[in-house]
Amino acid sequence: MTYRKRMILLMTLDSLIVSTAIFIALWIVFPATKSIDITVFVWSSITLLLSHHIFAFIYKLYNKVWAYASVRELLSITKAVTLSILVTGVVQFLINDFVIYRRALIVTWMMHILLIGGSRFAWRMYRNRFITDHSDQKRTLIVGAGDAGAMIARQLKTSSNESELHPIGFIDDDLRKQHMDVYNLPVLGNVSEIEGIVKEHDIEHIVIAIPSLENGALKKIVESCTIPNIQVQMIPKLEDLMTGKVSVSNLKNVEVEDLLGREPVSLDINSISEYVTGETILVTGAGGSIGSELCRQLVRFNPAEIVLVGHGEYSIYNIHMELTNNRVGETIFTPVIADVKDRDCIFEIAKQYKPKVIYHAAAHKHVPLMEYNPHEAVKNNVLGTRNVAEAADYAGVDTFVLVSTDKAVNPTNVMGSTKRIAEMVIQNISKTSNTTFTAVRFGNVLGSRGSVIPLFRKQLNEGGPITVTAPEMTRYFMTIPEASRLVIQAGTLAESGDIFVLDMGEPVKIVDLAKNLIRLSGYSEDDIEITYTGIRPGEKMYEELLGEDEIIPGQVFEKIYRGRTPEINFEVVEDMITHFLQKDEAELSKHLINMANFRMEELKVLSYVE
């Protein structure tokens, strides 16, 4: 139906309601024998009809989609009807010797509210009950009958034609809500009863609608909801809802990252603001998982400029476009395509932009690949770090932060060894430089490129099997935003030569991650097979964050620890780097193997595995 036809229909319906209501009101209020002033009655009817249409236009009663009507629309009806009755009362007052039929007007007002409001809401009820087809929609259970759950239920019901989900009821542990209805949907039970309720009501989908849930509580609820062939989604957490209302489009799949069981760290906003706001910041590897998230987190503190340095043209293009399109403050985003292995180029960049802080996130990090390409690991992770660190010293940078890894502790692989040498490089430079050099170690980052979760998801989408190296293999895990925030915070705490370690919580079995991902995707382990492939070249069964001789007790900030590495004979490292640079390309791999076999007491952590 066109807008014009729809408006004419509603105006005609309202005209009939207004005209009929005033007759019914007179019939109710006055006995049939009492005489009525016809002049007053006619003028009252005309005034009421005209004023109703005028106020209906003012409050847009003919422009609203009544299929989605709510309390706000009812308030608009009440305002329009009340004002039209008041205007009618004034007219009666003027033409009837300053006497008005008060009781008749009150009854007319009530009749208008009932009939006009009823005509609108009746269409919504009819549409939801008889027109909307729920057969193709998933029967949905909402966990949480609070404000967020009620909002989700309302949106799913009012957008029933567009939504794939049809709400059936709520789950809530609050005893006061048991056996109550919210938006005509019953609270069916508590969290412990979910499995039985799912079977009883043929539930196909579960939405967790408690945005303030802490990770530990969320994990318990998700475990209750992970039933084969049932998809589980959730609304964003409270910290992600700062700028918008909860809507159906906000629903997201429950991710493995949500089940780490750790609470988000509270940053020292003031110290970071003093350190970053209004300054020029340079991020190497800005197109990578950690580098790009560092940029997103830094934007919050309104630096004057963020220089995005990276070797990959497409990745730098993506982060530059993202930051530019989402710009809030006055920060300038400058994309720079450069390779950290190009010493002259890196020095020129540092000289040109003169950043206050450099976050060095550019690195090769894939353990098995670096076993096959040791020369590239050394060139990128060691020589690249040395280039950027010496450029920072040359340009008078205030702080240099190296993003390191737990694999640098007692390394058994090329990647970990090169990152440990990179730490030694910046520690040595820090002894003679005015720049504060520090490194931040953390473990595996969930969702980063080349990490295990994207691989598991790909295998899951292909129907399995999911491959795990060994049943007992454990790793420390952290989310990308969590790691990036703590890297920024650690930079404010640094004293030259420090190595900071982030609290990664308890180590997690890789096989448990795979099982959680299978269940969260609505499958069982009978549907998706898990196979074991054996430990790959260079891998450890367990990871460490600090060596025994590196630990300094106590946190320097929430979830951040300071470590001190033992003194080293850096001349040996320099000698190895010099020899490495003097070798031609054909001999690089052989030379690195010789380095790996040269186990020096001063550099105990520098041993590789062939």
Distance CA 589, CA 508 (A): 34
Residue 360: predicted pLDDT: 95
110 with 10, same domain: the answer is: yes
Answer whether residue 572 is part of any domain. Answer: yes
Poorest-pLDDT segment among 362-371, 375-384, 537-546, 574-583 = 537-546
Q: How far is CA 108 from the centre of its chain?
A: 52
Q: What is the mean pLDDT of residues 295-322?
A: 92
- Contact yes or no for 173/148 (Cβ under 8 A): no
Q: Which residues pair with 167 in a beta bridge?
A: 140
Inter-residue contact 290 to 310 (CB < 8 Å): no
Q: Which of 92, 112, 131 is the last residue of a domain?
A: 131
290, 488 Cβ separation under 8 angstroms: no
Same domain, 239 and 297: no
Task: Give residue 357's pLDDT.
Answer: 93
Euclidean distance between CA atoms 389 and 370, whole angstroms: 22
Distance, in Å, from the CA atom of 490 to the CA atom of 437, rounded to the nearest integer, reads 11
How many Cβ atoms are within 10 Å of 302's Cβ, its own excluded?
Answer: 15
213 vs 192: CA distance, rounded Å: 17
State the Cα angle at 443 between 425 and 450, rounded to 5°. 95
* Domain limit, last residue, from 198, 219, 254: 254
Range of the domain at 405: 274-597
Average pLDDT over residues 101-105: 74
Q: What is the mean pLDDT of residues 182-203?
A: 84
Q: Do residue 245 and residue 348 come from a single domain?
A: no
Element (H, E) at 157: helix 147-158
pLDDT-derived band of residue 241, with 50, 70 and 90 as boundaries? very low
User: Which residues are identified as catalytic?
Assistant: 407
Report how far residue 423's alpha carbon sits from residue 386's, in angstroms, rounded to the nearest whole number: 10
Q: Give me the CATH number covering residue 392.
A: 3.40.50.720
User: Is residue 457 pLDDT above 50, yes or no?
Assistant: yes
Q: Are residues 353 and 491 in the same domain?
A: yes
pLDDT of residue 52: 79
User: What's the N-to-C CA distance of the chain in angstroms?
Assistant: 76
182 and 203 in a single domain? The answer is: yes
Least confident of 373-382, 397-406, 572-581: 572-581
261 domain residue, yes or no: no
Tokens of 138: 């998933």
Q: What is the domain count for the chain? A: 3
Mean pLDDT for the stretch of residues 252-258: 67
* 437 and 512 part of one domain: yes
Considering the domain architecture, whether residues 232 and 294 belong to the same structural domain is answered as no
Q: Strand ranges (DSSP E) for 74-223?
A: 138-143, 165-171, 181-182, 185-189, 205-208
pLDDT of residue 215 exceeding 80: no
468 falls within a domain: yes
Within a domain: 609: no
∠ CA 546-551-555, rounded to 5°: 100
Of the candidates 389, 382, 386, the one whose C-alpha atom is nearest the C-alpha of residue 282 is 389
Mean pLDDT of 596-608: 36
Residue 315 in domain: yes
Is residue 607 assigned to a domain?
no
Q: Tell me which range, 263-277, 401-415, 449-463, is most confidently predicted by mean pLDDT.
A: 401-415
Residue 604 is assigned to a structural domain of this protein: no
Q: 218 Cβ partners below 8 Å, 6+ apart?
A: 208, 234, 258, 259
Convert the pLDDT of each residue in 535-561 to its tens digit.
766 566 766 655 555 556 566 667 777
* C-alpha span between 129 and 126 (Å, rounded): 5
For 534, counting Cβ atoms within 10 Å of its Cβ (0-12 exposed, 13-18 middle, 19+ buried), the class is exposed
| pLDDT tens digit sequence for 418-448 | 888 888 888 889 888 999 998 888 776 665 5
pLDDT of 284 above 90: yes
Do residues 58 and 105 both lie within one domain? yes
Query: Do 169 and 103 share a domain, yes or no?
Result: no
> Is 262 inside a domain boundary?
no
Residues 413 and 498 in one domain: yes
Domain ends where: 226, 254, 282? 254
Q: Are residues 369 and 504 in the same domain?
A: yes
Same domain, 224 and 346: no
